[in-house]
Amino acid sequence: MLNNDNSEIDEVIDIVIEPYSNMLYKSKTLQDKKEVDDTIAAIKVDPNQTLNVETHLNYILYFLISGNKLPVGFKSMNAISPWILYWLICSLMILKDPPISMGSGMSLELIMSKLKKEALLKLRKFQYNISTHIENDNDDLLHSGFSGSFMQIPHLAPTFASVLTLKLTNNLEQFEFKDMKQWFMDLMTKDRHTGSYELKTSTPIGEFDARAFYCLLVSAKLCHIDLGLDYLETLWDMLVNSQSDLEGGLNGHDKDQESHGAYAFCTLSSIIIVLDQLRLLKPEKYKNKRLHDFINIDRFIDWLAHRQDVLNGGLSGRHNKLVDGCYAYWVGACGSILNIYGYINPINMPMLKSYILNYSQDNVNKNPGLRDKPGMNADFYHTNYILMGLSLCEYENEMYLPDTFCDAIDIKCNNVKGKQVHCVNPVYGLPIYVLTEVK
């Protein structure tokens, strides 16, 4: 509706003739972007920069084997304790031939054997939780998911982090999971009002998003839990119908949401894990089927291609959002997966590697750990996902599937010299050498 006084028309004309530079005073997106671009521009790029392995190793070991607890300020992580173990132990195990020469006086073998024992003891405590046995204090009843700390309810995210930590420390066989399947079943409910399925990270209250699918599917796979055809097909229908018509990203369950790098990764990996199983369970429908039979790969590639910043090679999670080192994994892995499955990877991996080495680590003050972007502090989460992202860059052309339709857990890599990190399986988020014996 136009007002009588034409002020709206004037306003429109004003906008059209407004020079674009004025938009900077108006748009928060442009202001934020400029701030980051300026910070990054101030850093000198060294094309020969390598990973400061020793600096990061000190950071990881300081937290893993020190005798000090984390300070009170970390209390919010009490809700998600197993993640800290996964991030740090995975980071340590990605580093290739870490130069252990610190004051600890311990060899890598000794450190690993200590971590194996201690991770097991710590995680036992998180499998003790209120839903497994509220009335009975018998430890023999601990056979379900893990929680974020002692006496919480089990939750898919800490379960995923715990299972991966146990896999890394070769402890999975020390645990039983016979009630986990029932718990997984209970997490999927049908909404009474809409009639559609929901998968929650915990019950009765829990988040329903792409992370729930991914955490559940990876945990089930590593713990050898057979989810059954009906359950898998219900997940499958949600996953393959979640591609955004507007943007092309994979959204988990809601195609109308804004596509997001981390959710796209969780969805793509979930689709692969489910398809691996459906091929065996229902060959008449899924045998010899590939990703492009179910999702529009070209639209996904279009969306993925635009994650990379032209100026610095870093990746963003969404259109018009800032780059963040952690997307080196979430988004980088989408590219690697496409490549492994015979499609193109639209991400320029050498440029991504340059972002990681020049901007995600502090080469001036040699502050330890890896970070989102210059100006930010390093943390456990970024250290892990950026190291995994670096691995995807280093092994860009070395990862492959032994044959077109084999299980993603069998992704292999050519063992080549001169790398600073181990090869990571982009679907499962673990170094390949850890996964070799899973079947």
Partner 1 sequence: MENLTYNGIDFSDLLPTINQLKIKEESYDSKRSLVLCDILCTTEYETLMSIFNAMLKVKEFSERSYNLVTEVIETVPSYYTAYAYKFEIIMHINKDISEELNWLDEFSLDNIKNYQIWSYRTELIKELHKENNSKDFFKKMLHKENLLTKLLFDEDAKNHHVWSYKSWFLSYFEYDLNDYAEEVDYIGKLIEKDVLNNSAWCFRYKLIMDLLNRSKDEEKELLLKEELEYSEEQINRYPDNISSWNYHFRMLELLKDKNFSIKKDLSSLYEAHLNESVYPIEYYAKYLNLIDKYGNQDRIKDLFLILRDHRDPIRKTYWDYKISQL
Q: Contacts with partner 1 in 245-304 (CB under 8 A)?
A: 245-247, 254, 256-260, 298, 301
CB 172, min distance to partner 1, A: 18
Tokens representing 326 are 């952690």
Return the residue of 125, 279, 289, 419 that touches partner 1, per CB under 8 A.
Answer: 125
Report the SS3 class of residue 131: coil
Q: Residues 204-233: x/- map of binding to partner 1 (CB under 8 A)?
A: xxxxxx------------------------
Residue 239 · residue 207 · CB < 8 Å: no
CB 278, min distance to partner 1, A: 27
Return the residue of 2, 42, 134, 364 that touches partner 1, per CB under 8 A.
Answer: 134
124 near partner 1 (CB under 8 A):
yes
193 near partner 1 (CB under 8 A):
yes
Site for partner 1 in 8-27 (CB under 8 A): 12, 15-16, 18, 20, 23, 26-27
Closer by beta carbon to partner 1, 224 or else 290: 290
34 near partner 1 (CB under 8 A):
no
159/144 Cα distance (integer angstroms): 9
Return the residue of 29, 39, 55, 189 that touches partner 1, per CB under 8 A.
Answer: 29
Closer by beta carbon to partner 1, 305 or else 376: 305
Q: What are phi and psi of 267, to 5 degrees?
A: -70, -50
Closer by beta carbon to partner 1, 201 or else 277: 201
Q: Residues 44-63: x/- map of binding to partner 1 (CB under 8 A)?
A: -------------------x
124/118 Cα distance (integer angstroms): 10
Site for partner 1 in 72-111 (CB under 8 A): 72, 74-81, 84-85, 88
Contacts of 401 (CB under 8 A, 6+ apart): 340, 341, 408, 410, 411, 412
67 near partner 1 (CB under 8 A):
yes
Query: What single letter denotes the amino acid at residue 373?
Result: K
Residue 308 · residue 352 · CB < 8 Å: yes
| # residues near partner 1 by CB under 8 A | 90
CA distances from 339 to 390, 407, 434 (A): 16, 15, 22
147 near partner 1 (CB under 8 A):
yes
387 burial (CB, 10 Å; 0-12 / 13-18 / 19+) is: buried
Q: How big is the CA angle at 240 (ends 234 and 243), to the nearest 5 degrees?
A: 140
